Chain A
């Protein structure tokens, strides 16, 4: 059982304090949802956890099983078990998903552009996510629609299979069928069972979202409301229904 702890997190960007006093703790196999109005700091939260260059942590700590990630470089946080699924992933010419995964796993470059090395795991994952081979052969996200980008992100998440995933706007750009596929792939990670004894632990996830439709497939263990850069209420899935009914008004200062 692993635990991601975010303690008293404060984050600045462009001289502005966006997050402050944010506390959140996620255990293996748990699904957390972070909801909030526009500008509440949801994307800041997601990017700051991975050490994005535009954000500065001004207070607090980020821990996985007691290991302090707060001052680590982005790649080291990823290797410690934290992965980010970006809301708007960039297009990278000439670098395929396979290049990324192969490099992330091997830690170094190797020439292999002929696609002869495509582990069956990736191929079958791509298939279950509805990703065609043409998309895999291009540079990652090149000319891809919003939905295709999300599928490619999900493919990488599934392949890297981290301890914890922060999924920023997992549901945006996806139609109903695609949302189901992507959500089920994430759910498999959350539910993943030990393959060789007790090492296997489900991925803990924080889903950052505006909407509740993703929760049909990924039932939330906890729901957090982020308003003005801090968590103002935490509850179970019924909190989503309250937001649906009343909007964020009751929590806004």
Chain B
């Protein structure tokens, strides 16, 4: 199958970007043209209901100019720096380029290339490499990665210079709104032939040596149907501590194909927490490369699906160096007719001695029509390592419900308490605890 005309080469030129970025986009487009849309026949797509996804139902977003309307999610306190990207256009940026401080660069603004002079010379290689690997196409890129690399509009670079540490988080809000006055352009929940817009949020976070930062990334939309293909690159330099929390609360008719790549240098730490509540179809690919000695990553995720939502999660913990450590905990609950599938792989390369990796996936199945699959995998080429994996899929233990009910708590409320309790350990260790109340209430209201 070739790429439909809406995503053809004419569309590619629609949004002007700098030459260097256009070159990457063109390269990606050339490969995309030869890459078919995945089908259910492919092993790694057979759980994803890809059959219900039709690229022709979407088109690259129009060029409607968005402006900052002052909106901010109520769960964000005022002292947090916010970068707003509305419909793939950066509309507000409250944080910037203070001397030696955090820099947020909209790479599509830099016509003649990025002004590398603002980057600490010690970090230059790291930053350049991060930008290049994030935006240029490479061998093995999936269809959706290539689509995102072809149609990306506003790649953001969030750069934390070596040695710079900040306690207050930075929030990036990717918000999608249906601004079209032509209502026929809105895709209905019934999924008829109307056309929805496609968006490709792109964020690269580079934390230089010894830097410390917390980044919150929010994906939010109205109820129109969108194709959303975000790509997030996280680079923790030597000894850096990079915490990243993503909250995905897209409307529940949207298709979400997300990618997150982590790369951790010597003694660096990535602490990542992904909360997936929205979208009809949400497939995420999360990887973490422990590239140098002593690198650590924590990959946590909370997902909750109701109605006919589908969550498909792929993870990859890649240990390349000695004394590296990764811990993965993905926990979810599925209700109504919702489904989830988790597939994870731990790779221990030859030479990754004394490394430790764990992978845990637990699922609560809250209704008879809901389902969850869990497929952990190990690929170990080094003897001197510790690896563990655990997975569980099951309903709420009736003994727990009876216990709560015997205290006078109604069955439905008891189920909510148990389900929220199931997630509590993840919330307790979240990088952005400010969001916990919102997450808790959102799940409680959907149960």
Contacts and interface: CB of A to CB of B under 8 A. Distances in A.
The SS class assigned to the A binding surface is: loop
A104 B408 contact: yes
Contacts of B31: none
A106 to B, nearest CB: 9
B441 interface: yes
Contacts of A139: 421, 424
B69 interface: no
Interface in B335-386: none
Contacts, number: 92
B406 A74 contact: yes
Interface of B: 397-400, 402-411, 413-414, 416-418, 420-425, 427, 436-437, 440-441, 444
Given A101-B407, A104-B408, A109-B420, 16 more contacts: A75-B408, A78-B407, A83-B407, A84-B406, A89-B403, A92-B421, A93-B422, A94-B423, A94-B424, A95-B417, A104-B407, A109-B413, A109-B416, A111-B436, A139-B421, A139-B424
A53 B402 contact: yes
Interface in A89-131: 89-90, 92-95, 99-101, 103-104, 107-109, 111, 113
Contacts of B406: 50, 74-75, 78, 83-84, 86
26 contacts: A53-B398, A75-B409, A78-B406, A79-B408, A83-B406, A86-B403, A86-B406, A90-B399, A92-B418, A93-B425, A94-B423, A94-B424, A94-B425, A95-B404, A95-B418, A95-B421, A100-B407, A101-B407, A103-B413, A109-B413, A111-B441, A113-B436, A139-B421, A139-B424, A156-B407, A160-B407
A174 to B, nearest CB: 20
B421 A75 contact: no
A87 B417 CA distance: 22
Interface of A: 50, 52-53, 73-75, 78-79, 83-84, 86, 89-90, 92-95, 99-101, 103-104, 107-109, 111, 113, 139, 156, 160
Interface centre among A50, A79, A107, A111, by most chain B C-beta atoms within 10 angstroms, is A111
Contact of B422 (A94, A103, A104, A160): A94
Contacts of B409: 75, 78, 100, 103-104
B333 to A, nearest CB: 12
B337 to A, nearest CB: 24
Contacts of A78: 405-409
A93 B364 CA distance: 13
Nearest to B426: A94
Contacts of A93: 421-422, 424-425
A52 B405 CA distance: 10
Nearest to A82: B406
Contacts of A107: 410, 413
A100 B399 contact: no
B420 A94 contact: yes
Contacts of B418: 92, 95
A81 to B, nearest CB: 10
A103 B414 CA distance: 9
A86 B403 CA distance: 8
The SS class assigned to the B binding surface is: helix
Contact of B403 (A92, A99, A101, A113): A92
Contacts of B404: 92, 95, 100, 103
Interface centre among B405, B407, B424, B427, by most chain A C-beta atoms within 10 angstroms, is B407
Contacts of A99: 417, 421
Contact of A73 (B400, B403, B405, B425): B405
Nearest to B397: A90
A-B pairs with lowest CB-CB distance, top 9? A94-B424, A94-B421, A95-B421, A78-B408, A74-B405, A75-B405, A104-B408, A111-B437, A111-B440
Contacts of A89: 403
B17 to A, nearest CB: 43
B400 A90 contact: yes
A78 B404 CA distance: 10
B29 to A, nearest CB: 47
Nearest to A100: B407
Contact of A103 (B397, B400, B402, B417): B417
Nearest to A156: B407
A79 B423 CA distance: 28
A191 B414 CA distance: 31
A100 B407 CA distance: 8
A70 to B, nearest CB: 16
Nearest to A141: B403
A111 B75 CA distance: 14
A52 B401 CA distance: 10
A103 B345 CA distance: 40
Contacts of B399: 90
Contacts of B407: 78, 83, 100-101, 104, 156, 160
Contact of B402 (A74, A95, A160): A74
Nearest to B421: A94
A13 to B, nearest CB: 14
A54 B77 CA distance: 49
Contact of A100 (B402, B417, B422): B417
Interface centre among B397, B398, B405, B440, by most chain A C-beta atoms within 10 angstroms, is B405
Contacts of A74: 402, 405-406
Nearest to B427: A113
